[in-house]
């Protein structure tokens, strides 16, 4: 079973200003993003037992100031955030149809697109981390040269003992082509210790016929630990060379499916950091995901974040 040389975690990616509907023509401002959602939930779940940082790049504007202040107030390490005097945070607006959401994005000039431009800043952000988490969205928003800078920083961090977790989280609109995705994913899998894919993404990208096929492909790529999320279906797992599956408990009262996978990742990774087995970590991930989808929005109120032993 994988171990960790430190509980300290750095999640890498983009957070955006969120405009969520609260009434006819009225919206509430918040912040969200896949790896940010995971980092935020981890920070609340770990309750100060570890440092959790969110490595990103934001602007110098008031929205960016408010974002950094909110993270600091919620016990995240903001020292790994850099500032861009020329760009601001990206923005998206939500439309809600029942429990499903649709999104409208303004992120083409987001400051986060420069988060990996400085290799030395990345190295400093990763120093002392036991776990570094990123996603396919992290990769998609970066210029190709900066992506290579990120890969080099991840390789150096792994050489110094860090573990890397990766959620492919494929968003085709962010990539120039699906071929570009297929060329990039193997590069990051070569640097990945824990993979947290969603089966529907793997079907769309690679044509996998079953979660077991997904596990086999990740194992061939050299990933030691894999948990395949599959909506309401079982979570399939590869750990210590063994394949298994755990059923996903039925969830009643679903209000909003946004952020379900990010919540699972938070529960899973937090449990693993605390020494729980991958199977126990899946149960923790399912608890987090269940809470998220019975609440409006991708992040839970602090009081509803599940506790961990």
Burial grade of 301 (CB within 10 A; 0-12, 13-18, 19 or more): exposed
Q: What DSSP designation does 198 have?
A: B
Candidates 34, 77, 256, 262; catalytic one: 262
**CA atoms within 13 A of residue 117's CA, in its CB half-sphere:** 13
In the residue annotation, 262 being an active-site residue is answered as yes
Q: What DSSP designation does 303 have?
A: G
Residues linked to residue 53 through DSSP beta bridges, in sequence order = 10, 77
Q: Which residue has 């790994």 as its token pair?
A: 80
Residue by residue, DSSP assigns 68-88 as HHHHHHTT-B-TT-EE-SS--
Q: Which two tokens stand for residue 50?
A: 């570890």
CA triple 88-94-98, angle to 5 deg: 165
Query: Alpha-carbon distance 15 to 178, whole Å?
Result: 24
How many angstroms separate the first and last alpha carbons of the chain?
Answer: 19
Q: Which two tokens stand for residue 190?
A: 């070569």
CB 307 within 8 A of CB 284: no
Give the residue numbers annotated as catalytic, written as ranges: 262
């Amino acid at each position: 079973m994988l171990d960790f040389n430190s509980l300290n975690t750095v999640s890498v990616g983009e957070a955006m200003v969120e405009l969520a509907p609260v009434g006819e023509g009225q919206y509430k401002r918040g912040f969200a993003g896949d790896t940010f959602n995971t980092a935020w939930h981890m920070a609340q779940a770990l309750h100060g037992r570890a440092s959790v940082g969110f490595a990103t790049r934001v602007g110098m504007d008031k929205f960016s100031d408010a974002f950094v202040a909110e993270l600091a107030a919620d016990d995240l390490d903001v020292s790994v955030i850099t500032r861009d005097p020329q760009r601001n945070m990206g923005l998206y607006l939500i439309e809600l149809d029942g429990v499903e959401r649709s999104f409208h994005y303004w992120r083409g000039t987001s400051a986060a697109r420069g988060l990996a431009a400085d290799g030395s800043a990345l190295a400093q952000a990763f120093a002392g981390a036991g776990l570094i988490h990123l996603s396919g969205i992290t990769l998609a928003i970066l210029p190709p040269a900066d992506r290579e800078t990120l890969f080099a920083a991840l390789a150096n961090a792994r050489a110094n003992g860090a573990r890397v977790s990766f959620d492919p989280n494929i968003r085709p609109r962010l990539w120039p082509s699906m071929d570009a995705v297929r060329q990039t994913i193997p590069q990051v899998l070569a640097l990945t210790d824990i993979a947290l894919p969603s089966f529907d993404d793997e079907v769309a990208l690679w044509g996998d016929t079953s979660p077991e096929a997904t596990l086999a492909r990740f194992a061939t790529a050299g990933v030691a630990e894999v948990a395949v999320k599959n909506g309401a279906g079982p979570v399939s797992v590869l750990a210590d060379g063994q394949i298994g599956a755990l059923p996903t408990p039925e969830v009643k009262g679903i209000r909003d499916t946004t952020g379900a996978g990010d919540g699972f990742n938070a529960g899973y990774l937090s449990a693993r950091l605390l020494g729980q087995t991958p199977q126990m970590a899946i149960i923790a991930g399912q608890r987090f995901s269940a809470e998220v989808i019975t609440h409006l929005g991708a992040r839970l109120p602090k009081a509803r974040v599940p506790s961990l032993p």
